[in-house]
Amino acid sequence: MKTIKLTGFLLASALLTFSCNKPSETVETSEAKEVATLEGKSLSIDPEATTIAWRGYKPTGQHFGKIPAVNGELALSGSEITGGKFTFDITGLKIEDMEETDESYGKLYGHLQSADFFDAENHPQATFEITEVMPFSESDKIAVEEQFESENTPKSATELSPEQPTHWISGNLTMRGNTKNIKFPAAVSIDNGVVSAKAGFNIDRTAWGLSYGDEADAVDKTKDKFIYNTVSLNLNVTASE
């Protein structure tokens, strides 16, 4: 595994395709890969400051919120990150575009927890385990995937990515009992032994079996017969000794 050199602003943690010069510079989703061994000093995540923000889309609207962290760790060997694992609570998912007291909130929450989406009764947690870290070059370019145009077209890769990514992160993302390896650009800072990492990227939810309202099955997209397969994720991780 290639590790991260932490100097100044560096890095810690899709089905979208990014156009770059080399295969190693291509964001991708693939089959699960061998997890990196956690070597060196272990840093624990701060659950209060570690979340996945999510945003889902359909032609007539959007929903967004957060999934809280349960636990996790980041491993450092000297000034190098050697691996990490993070666990998130699907049952603790929050919807932030409506009030919890709203009847619609309960309906949407129940729908997302059901077998139509996360199947939280059987799979209450999601995990991300780092498999590889590679440098992000100044010459790397992030291309935008074409989407069906509507009033709520999903955010593009360039809108989600950190302004100055330092590395490509690869890791196994497990949801609903399905594990896929995803690769995306990310950026991190270190301040007094605290690692703060940020990343933003899109995934195709159907790769993990979240296939309700699959847009590929829509006969007439202009009549709001589907939910976009693209889901935007923003990952924030804070870890310290």
Q: Bigger pLDDT: 144 or 185?
A: 185
Encode pLDDT of 156-177 as tens digits.
Answer: 988 999 988 888 889 999 999 9
Encode pLDDT of 90-107 as tens digits.
Answer: 999 999 999 999 999 999
Encode pLDDT of 191-241 as tens digits.
Answer: 787 888 899 999 999 999 999 988 877 666 655 678 999 999 999 999 998
What are the domain boundaries of the chain? 4-240
Query: In the chain, what percentage of residues exceed pLDDT 90?
Result: 57
Tell me the pLDDT band of 189, cut-offs 50, 70 and 90. Answer: confident
Encode pLDDT of 66-93 as tens digits.
Answer: 999 999 999 877 667 778 999 999 999 9
Residue 236 corresponds to which tokens in the numbers above?
Answer: 């924030």
Say which CATH topology domain 4-240 has.
Lipocalin (2.40.128)
Q: Bigger pLDDT: 25 or 47?
A: 47
- What pTM, to 2 d.p., does this model score? 0.85
Q: How far is CA 199 from CA 34, 149, 227, in A?
A: 22, 25, 24
Backbone angles phi, psi at 16, to 5 degrees: -70, 145
**Sequence-separated (6 or more) residues with CB below 8 Å from residue 146:** none
How far is it, in rounded angstroms, from Cα 221 to Cα 225? 6
Per-residue H/E/C for the chain = CCCEECCCEECCCCCCCCCCCCHHHCCCEEECCCCCCCCCEEEEECHHHCEEEEEEEECCEEEEEEEEEEEEEEEEECCEEEEEEEEEEHHHCEECCCCCCCHHHHHHHHHHHCCCCCCCCCCCEEEEEEEEEEECCCCCCCCCCCCCCCCCCCCCHHHHCCCCCCEEEEEEEEECCEEEEEEEEEEEEEECCEEEEEEEEEEEHHHHCCCCCEHHHCCCHHHCCCECCEEEEEEEEEEEC
